[in-house]
Structures are given as structure tokens and as C-alpha cells.
């Protein structure tokens, strides 16, 4: 896709990224270097709760008015809380770029934090916590994470009832003040000079050094039982490279061969040959200071041991990966990269992640990095020695 990339750091510390396209659509993402990983264990979930509350209105706009500004123009407004960052984004027709950035700025500069709305939103968050618990796939993914890391990092991003209920307006305000070192990322039909000028006028910057994350790795295994289930849900998980580690690209090739689609090894062995599962997938979770890989299978409770052994067997067989399959995985990854570029919002997120890791320009080096991959680096990942395992089975 024809595009131009620009990056600058303003005098006030704001980093602005722009991929300029000949496009009638523009995605704008405003991110702050504070996320779930920076929370104390006793208030786990405060970052996610705070994200919710920011959508509840500013000093001049109600939550309905905020939504209407985007809805009535055919756009999308949303946000997310990650381990290392909290972000808010819009996707709008290009002529409304200023409106979108202005709205994000207002939400992040002048949130109302109305006491009654905050308490109402707490109920919403608590319902989301229950949903995570009651949805087997969400539950086993979060349990797998808790089997890979000690608290507080190992706890779920949404928090628990015990950690959300005590969070007061004062605690939210205190955490909000820690939002720091913002990054504005724009992808689509936009002029860089106009984006810079608008950012200078609208976006307030609070400079601070992000606190050093305390991440202690562990490995655990367990089988849990629950009434009302018809299927067992299992995850085999292991620690991997981070965004700062070049081996992350080897992991992508590893996953492409192992579980990247219907022709992948796990799909063929578990689903096609034996009919043991409907869904088989691998889900890397990689940040600046952490990385892990989750392999999920939904199967009959009586097949858990067999499926686990098949996963470990196929991982071990990756030590002998041949050059043909390796080259095919590289072609697959480059193809997926090209498909991703069609989505301006996904590109904005990818640029943000690379900037957090050190250089947004790394996104544009992807094909080069994949081309430079060495077969032996992918084979090395087959030498798995430690892993975590969790299964949720019918009682």
C-alpha cells in the first residue's frame, strides 16, 4: 500500500507518528505509558476501570454526546487497557480527523469523573469480571497467565471482585495522574503539519519515567473442574521473547508452522487426523518487558492427556523443521503482514507497539526481518523445557 511515514517528538515530549495514505479514512490513537502491569495487587483492575470511566463524560460533554460525535459521522470510538499501555482511538472519514483528535484530547484532558457515574460504571466492570470467569476460553487464558507469572503481573487485567470493589474516586484520580509520555499515532488521509499543529494545541503532556515492571516468572500446572460444561478447555503456555528480542520473529515462524491455519501441524494432528477438537490455536502475547505463548484446544474431557501429549510431541518435532516448511512459513507471515496493512487501526496499533519497544520504523522492516530468519533459530524453540498447563473440565 502506498504510504509515507513520519515521526517527530515535540518540545513538550509528545511523540507523533503518522502513516499518510491516500485514503478517505483515518485512524487516530492516543496512548499513555501506563497499564495493568503498573498496578498494585490490592487494586488490580484499576487501569481498566479507569479506561471505562474516561468514556463517561468530560466537563463539557456527556457520555452520550461523546458517542454521538463519532456515531453520527459513521465512525468508531473505543479504547483498551494493555499490560504496558492504555489507549483510546477513533476511526473516522478523513475530513473529521481534527474532530477525532479533539475528542480524544478532551476525554483525556478534561474527564468529569462524576461520582455517581463512576459507581455505576463499577457495576459494569464487575459484570465484565463475571463474564470473564463464566466464559471458559477467557478463564483458561487468564489462568494460564497466572501460572506463568507471580502476582501482581500474573493477575488478570480486568481485576477481581475483591480488587475492584474497594476502588474509590480518589484512587482513580490518583492513578489517572500517572498517565504519562503520550504517543499520538495517526494512519490514513492526513497532513503531517496539520496533525503536528493540532497536537501542539490540544494534547496535554505529563512527563514521567514509567516505573520498572516487576515480573517474576513461574511455571505451574493444574486441572480444574466446573459444573455445566460440555467440553474441556486447555491451554499449554510457555515464556517467549519480548518485543525487544529478535527471536520474536522466530516465534512467529514457529507458530505459523505449528498452528497457523488449517494446514498447520497441530490442526492436522488434533483435528483433521483424530477429530479431537473443533478449535486449535496459538496466541502469542508479547510486550516490551514480557512474552508468552498460549496454545489452546477445546476437547472432550477424556482426551486431555492425549491432546497435551500431541502438543508436546509436535513442539519437540519442531527441532527437525525442514527448510521447505520453514520457507513456506516465511511466505505465510509476509502475506499476513500485507493483509494487516489494509486495516488502518491495526497498523496504528502495530506502530504504537514498535515505538514502545524502541522504534516505530521497525514495523516497516518486517519483511526484511522475516527474510533474515534462520532455520536454526526456529528449531531452537522446539527445545521446550518448562511450560505451564491448565485445563478446565466438566464436573
Q: What is the CATH number of the domain that holds 384?
A: 3.30.830.10
**Boundary of a domain, candidates 170, 202, 234:** 202
Grid cell in block for residue 370 = 522475516
pTM: 0.95
CB 204 within 8 A of CB 181: no
Which stretches of 44-175 are assigned E, i.e. beta strand? Answer: 76-81, 86-93
Same domain, yes or no: 61 and 30: yes
Provide the pLDDT for residue 3: 77
CB 114 within 8 A of CB 41: no
In a domain, 159, yes or no: yes
Provide the pLDDT for residue 205: 87
Provide the pLDDT for residue 214: 86
In a domain, 208, yes or no: no
Mean pLDDT of 44-49: 98
Mean pLDDT of 283-293: 97
| 52-100 confidence digits (pLDDT tens) | 999 999 999 999 999 999 999 999 999 999 999 999 999 999 999 999 9
pLDDT at 13 over 80: yes
Provide the pLDDT for residue 348: 98
Same domain, yes or no: 114 and 175: yes
Domain boundaries, position 89: 3-202
Element holding 294 (H helix, E strand): strand 291-299
In a domain, 293, yes or no: yes
Percentage of the chain beyond pLDDT 90 is: 94
3-class SS string, 55-82? CCEECCCEHHHHHHHHHCCCCEEEEEEC
In a domain, 70, yes or no: yes
Q: DSSP secondary structure string, 200-230?
A: HHH------PPPPP---B---EEEEEETT-S
Provide the pLDDT for residue 1: 61
Same domain, yes or no: 228 and 365: yes
* Domains: count for the chain: 2
Same domain, yes or no: 153 and 29: yes
Crossing angle for the helix pair 46-54 and 115-134, to the nearest 10 degrees? 130
| 116-139 confidence digits (pLDDT tens) | 999 999 999 999 999 999 999 999
Output b/e per residue, 271-282; b: 16+ Cβ within 10 A.
Answer: beeeebbeebbb
Same domain, yes or no: 111 and 196: yes
Provide the pLDDT for residue 210: 66
Work out the burial of residue 371: count CB atoms within 10 Å of its CB; fewer than 13 is exposed, 13-18 middle, 19 or more buried: exposed
Lowest mean pLDDT among 65-74, 203-212, 377-386: 203-212
Instruction: Supply angle C-alpha 18, 8, 190, rounded to 5.
Output: 25
In a domain, 190, yes or no: yes
Percentage of the chain beyond pLDDT 70 is: 99
Same domain, yes or no: 277 and 176: no
In a domain, 209, yes or no: no
Same domain, yes or no: 277 and 373: yes
Amino acid at each position: 500500500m502506498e504510504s509515507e511515514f513520519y515521526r517527530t517528538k515535540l518540545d513538550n515530549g509528545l511523540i507523533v507518528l503518522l502513516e499518510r495514505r491516500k485514503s478517505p479514512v483515518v485512524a487516530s490513537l492516543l496512548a499513555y505509558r501506563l497499564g495493568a502491569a503498573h498496578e498494585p495487587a490490592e487494586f488490580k483492575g484499576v487501569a481498566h476501570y479507569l479506561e471505562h470511566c474516561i468514556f463517561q463524560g468530560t466537563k463539557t460533554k456527556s457520555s452520550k454526546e461523546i458517542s454521538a460525535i463519532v456515531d453520527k459521522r459513521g465512525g468508531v470510538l473505543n479504547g483498551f487497557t494493555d499490560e504496558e499501555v492504555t489507549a483510546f482511538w477513533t476511526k473516522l472519514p478523513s475530513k473529521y480527523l481534527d474532530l477525532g483528535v479533539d475528542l480524544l484530547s478532551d476525554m483525556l484532558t478534561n474527564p468529569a469523573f462524576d461520582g455517581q457515574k463512576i459507581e455505576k460504571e463499577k457495576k459494569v466492570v464487575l459484570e465484565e469480571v463475571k463474564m470473564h470467569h463464566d466464559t471458559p476460553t477467557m478463564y483458561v487464558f487468564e489462568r494460564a497467565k497466572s501460572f506463568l507469572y507471580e502476582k501482581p503481573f500474573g493477575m488478570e487485567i480486568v481485576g477481581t471482585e475483591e480488587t475492584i470493589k474497594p476502588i474509590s474516586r480518589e484512587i482513580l484520580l490518583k492513578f489517572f495522574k500517572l498517565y504519562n509520555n503520550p504517543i499520538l499515532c495517526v494512519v490514513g488521509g492526513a497532513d503531517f503539519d496539520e496533525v503536528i499543529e493540532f497536537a501542539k494545541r490540544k494534547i496535554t503532556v505529563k512527563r514521567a519515567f514509567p516505573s520498572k515492571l516487576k515480573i517474576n516468572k513461574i511455571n505451574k500446572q493444574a486441572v480444574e473442574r466446573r459444573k455445566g460444561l460440555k467440553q474441556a478447555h486447555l491451554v499449554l503456555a510457555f515464556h517467549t521473547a519480548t518485543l525487544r528480542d529478535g527471536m520474536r520473529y522466530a516465534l512467529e515462524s514457529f507458530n505459523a508452522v505449528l498452528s497457523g491455519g488449517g494446514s498447520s501441524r497441530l490442526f492436522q494432528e488434533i483435528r483433521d487426523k483424530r477429530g479431537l477438537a473443533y478449535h486449535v490455536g496459538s496466541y502469542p502475547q508479547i510486550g516490551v518487558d514480557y512474552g508468552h505463548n498460549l496454545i489452546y484446544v477445546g476437547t472432550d474431557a477424556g482426551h486431555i492427556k492425549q491432546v497435551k501429549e500431541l502438543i508436546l510431541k509436535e513442539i519437540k518435532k519442531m527441532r527437525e523443521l525442514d527448510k521447505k516448511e520453514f520457507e513456506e512459513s516465511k511466505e505465510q507471515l509476509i502475506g499476513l503482514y500485507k493483509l494487516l496493512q489494509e486495516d488502518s487501526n491495526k497498523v496504528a496499533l502495530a506502530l504504537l507497539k514498535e515505538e514502545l519497544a524502541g522504534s516505530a520504523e521497525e514495523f516497516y522492516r518486517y519483511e526484511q526481518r522475516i527474510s533474515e530468519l534462520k532455520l536454526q533459530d526456529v528449531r531452537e524453540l522446539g527445545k521446550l523445557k518448562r511450560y505451564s498447563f491448565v485445563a478446565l473440565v466438566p464436573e
